[in-house]
Structure 1
């Protein structure tokens, strides 16, 4: 029973994300979700009190995914460049598997009429920036990154560049390999900030040490599940409300 309950909640959130991607937040209504899921509106109200709770549910999922990534990086004691690359590789693979989710993560202005959701989304972004800054400071202390540029400046350059690439990817209807492009650009940026040259460190499969690359990365990408391709397929599953 509990498992079915969570699957229904997951499908509602997935459908909400698809609607936001296609119609914007203003197009997200309980009626539209019910119509696409072919269930009653009452079935949705058993899980969410209103539209705002559904929006918060989608954002809270990002927060839990972020926490998983942060814990993985810390538990593996990755070097600064490893941690930053792992983080952004995870996000971009996530987005490639489910592009619609970027309508929520990269269009904060869509939440202008939903102040609680806007604040929650801003907190998610702030936490990401804070974590990347921690990794940059770690790299500067350990001699990986130059101290000639302040940590905030390095974070702004990395995060701003990656965000621009993702927005351009959306504008071009996802017509280029996002992860490949982001990692290629990231390698140039980190090389510019590095105090030493490390050969071939950004080749895919060589980004992490052996213990991390084969098992941890796959685990992090598949455990969230909800917004990956497998989860996306669940949107079309029909069940009684």
Structure 2
């Protein structure tokens, strides 16, 4: 198991971010998606990480950016083909995370049968909190997730509603990808996802254990202004 002090810097040395889609029935339903019979995996590059003090940036070409609050699992011990009964031994700690999604770009990719990489993995798409030690969350399969936009509640759920629990997820993922120290697994989002625009402030929390806030900005707004002036 990696030393806890090292794991607090998981976003600096972790090699990958593995994400779980549609892991809450109500969230799958709100987007008109079928409920999966096995975990649905996708990934983000580590350049997606940001921390408080940095802004979420709307990616170029996106007109519908959505928030998704999630519990993140930080891997503390490398493993491959992990048995479900031993999977929690590979958990080094937790983190509160946002899976920011360019929903319109995702819809276009899905329609064409293309991967979601741009829609899910653009820079700033994975805001994370400070590292949360294991002892702070004795039961990660029963913890509140909540999110507000400009003070108004959007998401309020619990990890108890996950279709696939953490041990099952880690076992499944490790069948295909070796999980390494510092890797992050995002476990899915409850219902209530919605759009944010430039100037919005997202505040989210993991019960009363962790809270973080991020502002949304559009770095490409100036590009459109310049193009309009040329026209």
Question: What TM-score do you get using the length of structure 2 for normalisation?
Answer: 0.27
- Higher helix residue share: 1
Report the structure number with the largest CA radius of gyration. 1
- Higher strand residue share: 2
